[in-house]
Amino acid sequence: MKLPIIKHMTNFIEENDQDYVLEAIETLEAMTEVSSLKDEELDVLGEIISNLYGAIEVDKMIKNGATKKDALNGFMKRVLGSIDK
């Protein structure tokens, strides 16, 4: 996951609507079912999907009262904490 991408997409959600991101996720997930995709291509799709889900999580935290900075930092700490386990 890349914080600059999650931050950018969080701004996109604020300016537009979360539904656009959810539909993009659905589209990308459908693309992962193409049998001719190479492992590297699946990795890229997975990374994009992860970043989009991250932006949705950060947006939820902001809607629950967190500042954008705290939401982004809290999310990344959660991600890094789960990797360390």
pLDDT 10s digits, 1-41: 899 999 999 999 999 999 999 999 999 999 999 999 999 99
Mean pLDDT of the chain: 93
* pTM (predicted TM-score): 0.89
Which residues make Cβ contacts (< 8 Å) with residue 24, sequence separation at least 6? Answer: 52
Contact 64, 57 (CB under 8 A): no
Question: Can you tell me the distance from the alpha carbon of 19 to that of 65, in angstroms, rounded to the nearest whole number?
Answer: 20
Q: Do residues 29 and 49 make contact, with C-beta atoms less than 8 angstroms apart? A: yes
